[in-house]
Every structure is written in structure tokens, then in C-alpha cells.
Structure 1
């Protein structure tokens, strides 16, 4: 992990916002506690109907809980975003997590993508290769993007807001500010 970096430019007389490198490392104790809590969840013994008219059937929920407690490989999930350049920076009072991948094509267009609610940038990771290096995926250099995958406030590895009002316009303004910042190195 490198030292915190600053944006490449800032208006004269102002302090540039800090952009810090980031990696995902969830402590084993937290994963153990999560597994314990999932395993201890009280589930209904049975549904009163034979179909899903009352919602997700308990057998499905039990199988899902078993998977999250015993079958999900969190370390493999950590490897995927950690294979890419990740950063955090404060915008509008919230620490924002983002992945920033420059295209090998110098004339690539900048593009910010974000996930929905609920969600995470993890669901966008499969787009990185085709968008940043389209020639490796059957496209042309004109199809290339310099890509930023931004985590919404309160989701993934972004900080939690302390006030209401993170509607689409406010998020758009935050992403415009994020677009003006560039990690160095």
C-alpha cells in the first residue's frame, strides 16, 4: 500500500483534498461474529401455504443462511476489488470509497459508474476490463473509458452520512466533485 496521495491540481491558495489508497481487509473476528449471528438467526418453522404467497419460504432462507455462514468465501471476494486501485476521499462530509482504473488507451473518456441501493461496487467489477481495455475484449480504442466506480454514501466501504438528504441531485454533485479529483501515481 502506498502513502496517501494528493490530487494532481488544486485551485491556487487552497488545500487539495486528500485521496487515500484503500484495500479491503475484514478481520477474521468480524467474519466469525457474522457467521455466529447468521447461524443463530431464528427462522419460522414452516409457512402456512405451499407457494411463495407469504414471501420467501423458510427452506430457502435456511439454505441462504447456511451458504452465508459456511459456504461464502469472503477472502476471494476481498481479492477482486483489491486487485484494482481503490481509494477514499471526503466529499460533502462523508468518506467516499471508489475504484479508479485508467485505460491503457490515452484518449479514453472518463466515466463514473455507481451501484444502486442496496448494492456495492463489487457488482460492477466485471465491467472494468471491457470498459477500460475494449481492444482485449473485441472492441476498439474509441470504446475505451477511464473508469471510476464510486460507492454511494452509507454503502460498501463509503462512510455513513450523519444527516438525511442524499438524493440523486446531491449524489450527482458529489460525483462531479469526485471527477475533478485524480489520484496520483
Structure 2
């Protein structure tokens, strides 16, 4: 039975995660896993990863409704990306289970650094209008979906911090649309 401090810590962490996920369409898992391990006190990295996946999925579902009402979801792209991502996630989850939890956390930290660096580098190129017209070719969407799904399944994360940049790279859609569309996946 969790003590009241753990329950309060968990609730506060959930608010932070939900706010971040709703605001930028990602970041739930990159916050949830460390918070569950180091603030809430879960000892097993695999348990923290699984718990964060459930929490992020629930938060994404509720955040999706506001983005859908604002017409910021590209539904066809979301469906294609999500279906491809499911295939990759199955393979990634199978492989992630055989990796030691501490090694998995190290690899997770590395991928967070790489994605963060790429996002910072990309933000120097100007605003959304400079990206040109959106691309709708299915092959890049499927390829990015499979790779992102693999990483999501491997690390046991929602993948929003990977999905948003992948959608931007595959389609050139505006950032707000990538955020809204990412919540479907």
C-alpha cells in the first residue's frame, strides 16, 4: 500500500505530465519515467516504463479532443502513421523486454539528447511558413511511423517526443498540426 507522500507525489507528477503532453503533444514519457523512478519511488525501470505508457495514453486521449475541435489533427496522416507505428511498436516491445532495465534507461537518455538536439537545430530555420507546402506521400509517413513505433515499443514510451519531429520531417505540416496529429498515435 503506497504511503500518502507517494500518492501526493504521483498526483503532482501526473499534473505536470498531463500539462506538458497537452501543451506540446509530447514529453509525457520523457518526464514520466524519471519522475516515477526518482520522485514517486518505483524501483524497477520496466515497471516505470509500463506505468508511464498507460498514464501517457490516457492523457493523450483527453488532450486529443481539444486539438480535434480546433481542427489541428490531420486524420488521414494520423491513421497511416499510427497503423505503421503499431507494427514497429510490436517488434520494438519484443526487443525491449530482453534488454537490462539500466541499459534501457541509458539508451533512452541518449535518444532524448539526440531528439532534443535535432529539434533545437530545426527551430533555428524559421517559422512554420518557411517549410513550404505539406507533403502527403504515404511512403515517408509509413517509414517514419514504423521507426517511431519501434522506438516507442522498445522504450515503452508514448513516443510523442519522437512522433512530433517525425511528422514534421515526413510531411512538413505546421507544428500545431503535428502536435494534434501526434496525439492520435
Task: Classify the TM-score, shorter chain.
Answer: under 0.3
TM-score where L is the length of structure 1: 0.25
Structure with the higher fraction of residues in strand conformation? 1
Structure of higher CA gyration radius: 1
Structure with the higher fraction of residues in helix conformation? 2
TM-score where L is the length of structure 2: 0.25
